[in-house]
Structure 1
Amino acid sequence: MAEAPVCDFGWKAPAFTLPGVDGRDHALADVKGPNGVLVAFICNHCPYVKAIADRLARDSSDLAGLGVSTVAICANDATTHPEDSFDNMKRFAEAHCFGFPYLHDESQQVAKAWGAVCTPDFFGLNAALELQYRGRLDSSGSRAASPDARRELFEAMRQVAETGAGPRDQTPAIGCSIKWKAA
Structure 2
Amino acid sequence: MQHTVSTKTLVKASVAAAVVAIIALVTLILPAEYNIDPTGIGKQLGLTSIAQAANAEPAAAQTLAKGNDEFQTIEIIVPAGRGVEYKFAMPQYAKMTFEWLTDGEPLYYDLHGEPEGDTTGYFESYTIATNSEVKGSFTAPFAGSHGWYWKNKSDKPVAVQLMVKGQYDVIGLKQ
- Higher share of residues assigned strand: 2
Q: Calculate the TM-score normalised by the size of structure 1.
A: 0.26
| Greater relative CO (CA pairs within 8 A, separation 6+) | 1
**TM-score normalised by length of structure 2:** 0.26
